Each structure stands twice: as structure tokens, then as C-alpha cells.
């Protein structure tokens, strides 16, 4: 594993975390982590980013419920929307990047032919994301069929399946990882002073996109653990503790806190 030097611990870093079952899930550890991050941001200028599959509506519900810190950046809807500095309008540069070749109506017309796909609530259907519930036992059969049908229609898209239930269809160059790379470069953070945290399949992109330090929390789901085992690198850390406790463990291991 790559550890950071003590000098880095007193310098700003880019902190990126998934929310459900990663940042959120252990209230006591979350309270400690929030205080440490807020103090580090005030003192050194650390940037805090939430990267979640949640829509703006569901994010706001969780933010109020858990009294989350105001982030410097928000990556919502599985990386298809970026919000900066509390703005309610998605970053236009990122939206423009995603729009090339995206045909939402055609995607929906293809998925209409698959009754196993159960549309998620309207709040989760976003301009650059079409989302369904798909049972785990059906997914192995349905996903390859979907990919084949999209290819026949000339659609180049990305399918993200996570937590044994959530299927998101997004532009090919869109996911949490690509969105974080966009922000990291925008804010001039090197990978060695950036850290990403996650627990499930839609977080694989966070760990795979670059060489940021990665913290996989102790309660990580099977699909992420399998990916981690198949792609071992010394800058990813598999924590023992769950949720925010695992993040604290990893931040201390790498020397960020």
C-alpha cells in the first residue's frame, strides 16, 4: 500500500465520497469525520465532493436528514450531473461533454421491449440517465441482450448495474470516475493528493478512472470486492470498519488526516 508523507497531512487534498453505505451509515463515525473534514477545509482549503447515484431530489432529502456538510462539488445521478458551489444548475461544460451522441428517446424505446426492467421513480429519470430496477437473477441475461439491441440501433451507451437492483443507462463517457477526473483537473489536484471512497458497483468507476488514493469501506458489496481482487494496486485500501469509520481508517492510513 502507498502511504503518504506527514507533509501531505497538513496540505489540502481532494476528498470524494459516495454517500449511501459509504459516507452515511454509521452516525457516530460520520459526526467525527464531518468535524475533521470541516476543520481541514477551513485550515488548508481541502475540497469536499459527494459522488452519488442519487438525483438532486433524493440528495437533498439525505442532506437534511443527516445534516451533511455543504460540499464544494456534487456529482449526482451516477456522474451525469455536476454541481459546483451550491449552484442549482448543472455545470454546462460537463453537460455539453455528455450530450454528443446521446439519444434519450431512442434508449427508452429500446428498453420498452424488456418487461423485466421496472422504471425507477420519475425523480430518478434524468436528462442523461435512464434508470430501472432489475432483479439480480435477471440481470445476467437481460444486460447482454440490452447491449446487443443498443448496438443494433447505433447507440453507444454505458450500462451501470449496482447493488443487485439498480440499472442506470448513461452516456459512454459518463460515470462517477470521469466526473471526478473533470473536477480534479479543474481544481488542479494531483492524484496523490486526491482520495475516493465507495462501497458498490457504481463506485468501481471512482477507483478505475485514475490513480487517486482509494478507500473501499469494510461493508463493500460483492461486485466492488470482486473488482478490487481482480485489479490489485497499492494505492487502494480495503478498510475493516464500516461506512464513515472505514473512511476515517483509510484517511489515517494514507496520512491525509
Structural domains in the chain plus CATH codes: 14-95+174-254 (3.40.50.1000), 101-170 (3.90.1070.10)
The pLDDT, as a whole number, for residue 202 is 87
pLDDT above 90 (res 7): no
DSSP string, 52-98: -S--HHHHHHHHHHHTPPPPSEEEETTTTEEEETT-SSPPHHHHHHH
pLDDT tens-digit map of 117-165: 999 999 899 999 999 999 999 999 999 999 999 999 999 999 989 888 9
**3-state class (DSSP) for residue 109:** helix
Residue 45 grid coordinates: 482549503
Strands in 194-198's sheet, in edge-to-edge order, are: 81-84, 73-76, 47-51, 14-17, 194-198, 213-216, 236-238
Q: Is the pTM of this model over 0.85?
A: yes
The three-point CA angle 36-40-46 to 5° equals 125
What single DSSP character describes residue 116? T
Helix/strand/coil (H/E/C) assignment for every residue in 133-166: ECCHHHHHHHHHHHHHHHHHCCCCCEEEEECCCE
Query: Which of 53, 50, 18, 40 lies closest to 193 in space, CA to CA?
Result: 40
What are the pLDDT digits (tens) for 156-215? 999 989 888 999 999 998 889 999 999 999 999 999 999 999 999 889 999 999 999 999
Q: When comparing pLDDT for 10 and 189, which is higher? A: 189
Please report the pLDDT score of residue 173 as a whole number: 87
Between CA 216 and CA 246 the distance in angstroms is: 8
Residue 196: its H or E element: strand 194-198
Q: Residue written as cell 485489479? A: 231
Does the pLDDT of residue 11 top 50, yes or no? yes
Handedness of CA 189, 190, 192, 198 (dihedral sign): positive
**CA 190 to each of CA 13, 79, 183, 194: distance values in angstroms, whole numbers, following the listed order:** 9, 20, 11, 7
Amino acid at each position: 500500500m502507498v502511504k503518504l508523507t506527514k507533509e501531505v497531512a497538513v496540505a489540502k487534498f481532494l476528498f470524494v465520497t459516495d454517500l449511501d453505505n459509504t459516507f452515511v451509515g454509521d452516525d457516530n463515525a460520520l459526526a467525527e469525520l464531518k468535524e475533521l473534514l470541516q476543520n481541514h477545509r477551513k485550515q488548508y482549503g481541502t475540497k469536499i465532493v459527494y459522488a452519488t447515484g442519487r438525483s438532486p431530489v433524493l440528495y437533498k432529502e439525505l442532506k437534511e436528514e443527516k445534516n451533511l456538510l455543504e460540499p464544494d462539488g456534487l456529482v449526482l445521478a451516477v456522474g451525469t450531473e455536476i454541481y459546483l458551489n451550491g449552484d442549482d444548475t448543472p455545470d454546462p461544460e460537463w453537460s455539453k461533454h455528455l450530450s454528443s451522441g446521446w439519444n434519450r428517446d431512442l434508449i427508452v424505446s429500446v428498453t420498452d421491449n424488456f418487461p423485466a426492467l421496472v422504471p425507477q421513480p420519475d425523480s430518478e429519470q434524468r436528462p442523461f440517465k435512464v434508470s430501472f430496477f432489475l432483479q439480480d437473477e435477471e440481470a445476467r441475461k437481460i444486460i447482454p441482450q440490452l447491449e446487443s439491441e443498443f448496438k443494433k440501433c447505433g447507440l453507444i451507451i454505458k450500462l451501470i448495474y449496482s447493488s443487485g437492483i439498480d440499472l442506470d443507462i448513461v452516456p459512454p463517457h459518463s460515470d462517477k470516475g470521469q466526473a471526478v477526473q473533470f473536477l480534479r483537473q479543474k481544481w488542479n489536484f494531483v492524484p496523490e493528493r486526491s482520495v475516493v471512497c465507495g462501497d458498490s458497483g457504481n463506485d468501481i468507476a471512482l477507483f478505475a478512472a485514475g490513480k487517486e488514493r482509494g478507500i473501499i469501506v469494510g461493508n463493500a458489496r460483492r461486485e466492488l470486492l470482486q473488482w478490487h481482487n481482480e485489479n490489485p494496486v497499492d494505492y487502494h485500501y480495503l478498510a475493516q470498519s464500516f461506512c464513515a469509520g472505514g473512511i476515517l481508517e483509510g484517511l489515517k492510513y494514507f496520512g491525509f488526516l
